[in-house]
Chains A and B, each alone.
Chain A
Amino acid sequence: MKLRQFFPLAFFAFAGVVAAQTTLNVVTAGDQNMVDYVNNYLAPKFEAMNPGVKVRAVGTGPGDGGSQKIYEKLSAQQKAGSAEWDVDVAVIHQLASATMVNEKLLMPYRNDISAGKLVSRDTAKNALGANVDGYVLPMFHSQIAFAYNPDLVKSPPKSFVELNEWVKKNPKQFGYNGVKGGMSGVGFVTGWVSAYSGLSEKLEKGPYDATSAAAIDRALLGLKDFNQYVVMTPGNAGTLDMLNRGEIAMGPVWVDMFYTWQADGRLNPKVKLSLPSPGLPGQPMYYVIPAKAAHAALAKKFIELAESPDVQADGIVKQFNWYPGIDPQFVQPKLDQAAWNKLFTDISPADLSKYGRPFPLSPYFKEIVEGYERVVLK
């Protein structure tokens, strides 16, 4: 057994023995910063508000694989017929949420908490085409956007069409990381296909239709031509590195990574962001409560706190540079102007809701990334 898997079990075992107090088990997919966020930021606040309650956060690893582990754990407990499941709150990706709602592993809870009324984006109801209405609340949104150096690019392209013209006038100044080097490149490719296939609605909302393949391939053929004028970067961080060294003038990046790097002094503070039409994808992480969570009432209180405008402002936006999970209009009054400006100067909340798009439905998603290898790379 790997150490990583051992620790969560050890935690649970330990918690069982000494639980003179109630333990709220929070299991989160994603990178270590997610666990840190719960342990160091949310847990102390929640424990102070609820004496006798201890919050335990456990991470299951980055990417959809992390969510898959949570799914497997809950699914096993469901099949075993357990009356109480040992996960109270889970934080998962969109893909897994659809499966888990479908298999009745989750409890609808949005209408039970007041913060449920503060969410505005479509992602609270729709996860890559699956109806998850009521079962999820977005913890935060992350977004892919173009980062550009304003010293070299006076007015960044406002759309994919303008970008296509721009790279031909400025060859080798735009860089992205393909589909094998991280999600910012994948997001750029799905954004390109949305823009050039004329299928953008269908890719996001479905229904899946195999005959769309021809239109997707046509869009990818255009990307093959586009690729002759751009630089391929080594990974999400590679794009930021090359921007910082002035080797490229523009490229798609994750917004939270961008701000974190700037805050750490790893990225030229002059570099700015822009979100082109018809949009680039982003994705939320969801708070969910398992259908038979042992402490469902406490779990709801926990999410109530996590989704409150104060926590969304200070924790999600200010400290971790994510976009809020709830509607930004409830978050702005809680932030000082500087913190707010940092997140929304380059991309206004209006642009974000207009051009911040979901990833395509999973069958389309697969078709696009496979098509990229078949059409663009060959």
Chain B
Amino acid sequence: MALALIVPALAVVTLFFVAPLAMSVVVAFRGKGGGITLEHFAKAFDYYSTDLLFTLAIVVLSTLLIGGVAIAIAGYLTLGGNARAVAILRWLYRWPLFIPFVVAGQVMRTFLAKNGMLNHVLIGSGLIEPLSAQSLLDWRGIVIAFVWKQAPFVTLLLAGAMASLETQHIEAARNLGARRLRVLVDIVLPQVRGTLLVGLVLSFVTMLSVLSVPLMINPNSPTMVTVDVAYRINTHGDYPVANALCILSLALSAIGAAFYLRHASRASTAAT
């Protein structure tokens, strides 16, 4: 009976997730003659090892920045003294959540260009000289787009977790003269560490799979692996190397998954 209940879910997972994944692995390892080969991986490394490292660096850097931004915003929402500023921030920070990656990429493309809006504002306000204006449409553009898009997501989780904390600790620390930053770092953050980690891991994995942002901001070398996968398929019809690249990025996201599972299993042990 129990088996009958899980059959539909199991079938969906097997049919639409496990089977394609298995196919992808098979294609990545299958040679022209049908035997097992590593040549597609050799080619993937030969052509795209820079891009693999670039992808990892971008995603790790973005994850760290997202963590910083999310802590800052969620911390202010929880501990901020000015009620009006808190209300405005609470209303404002969620906007990017509802904007698709492809739109974020498009917005950044005009915003960060050499003669784009950002540089116009900086030049207009006298902060930089017109000659020193430069285009941010390289790795920096991708990082900015990722942080802009994903920070609100982590903030949402983090602010929720912070709001559900017992306030006595915070009040006690404030009564004893602790400054707000100290309260955030020593009292609040340790208690929401798990939520922060989950949010960051989910962002890490999401960013690894985004094609639209690197494609729109910087599709040239070095670029992210997603662009290379799309390129192998669209231009060359080369599914083996594309699948090899997919498996390599799967290995990257497995790092995130390992973190997530370790946290989840610890949480479930703590709960029992």
Contacts and interface: CB of A to CB of B under 8 A. Distances in A.
A366 B238 CA distance: 11
B47 A235 contact: no
B253 interface: no
Interface string B210-247: 00000111111111000110010011100000000000
Contact of B217 (A65, A179, A234, A247): A234
Contacts of A369: 235-236
Interface in A344-378: 366, 369-370, 373-374, 377-378
Interface stretch (B12-20, B69-77, B109-117, B198-206): B109-117
Nearest to B235: A369
Contacts of B235: 179-180, 369
Contacts of A63: 234
Interface stretch (A7-15, A107-115, A130-138, A238-246): A238-246
A129 interface: no
A377 B221 contact: yes
B51 to A, nearest CB: 9
A243 to B, nearest CB: 11
A241 B113 contact: yes
Nearest to B218: A234
Contact of A370 (B221, B227, B236): B236
A180 B115 contact: no
Contacts of A191: none
B135 interface: yes
Contacts of A247: 113-115, 135
Given A234-B109, A234-B137, A180 B219 contact: yes
Given A180-B227, A245-B114, A247-B114, A373 B47 contact: yes
Nearest to B228: A180
Contacts of A235: 215-216, 219
Interface string B176-219: 00000000000000000000000000000000000000011111
B236 A366 contact: yes
Contacts of A377: 47, 50, 221-222
B116 A245 contact: yes
Contacts of B217: 234
B235 to A, nearest CB: 7
B114 A234 contact: no
Contacts of B116: 245
A181 interface: yes
A177 interface: yes
Interface string A227-262: 000011011001001100111000000000000000
A234 B216 contact: yes
Contacts of A246: 115
A179 B236 CA distance: 12
B220 A180 contact: yes
Contacts of A156: none
A30 interface: no
B219 A177 contact: yes
Nearest to B217: A234
A178 interface: yes
B219 A374 contact: no
Contacts of B236: 366, 369-370
B220 A245 contact: no
A369 B39 CA distance: 19
Nearest to A374: B47
A177 B216 CA distance: 11
B231 A180 contact: yes
Contacts of A373: 47, 221
Contacts of A179: 231, 235
Contact of A180 (B50, B110, B223): B223
Nearest to A238: B109
B115 A245 contact: yes
A275 to B, nearest CB: 24
A181 B220 contact: yes
Given A179-B231, A377-B50, 13 more contacts: A178-B219, A179-B235, A232-B218, A234-B220, A235-B215, A235-B216, A238-B109, A241-B110, A242-B113, A366-B236, A369-B236, A370-B236, A377-B222
Please provide the 8 A-B residue pairs with the shortest distance between their CB atoms, ordered closest to farther.
A232-B220, A377-B221, A178-B220, A245-B115, A247-B114, A181-B219, A180-B231, A180-B219
11 contacts: A178-B221, A180-B227, A181-B219, A234-B137, A234-B215, A234-B218, A235-B216, A238-B109, A241-B109, A245-B113, A377-B221
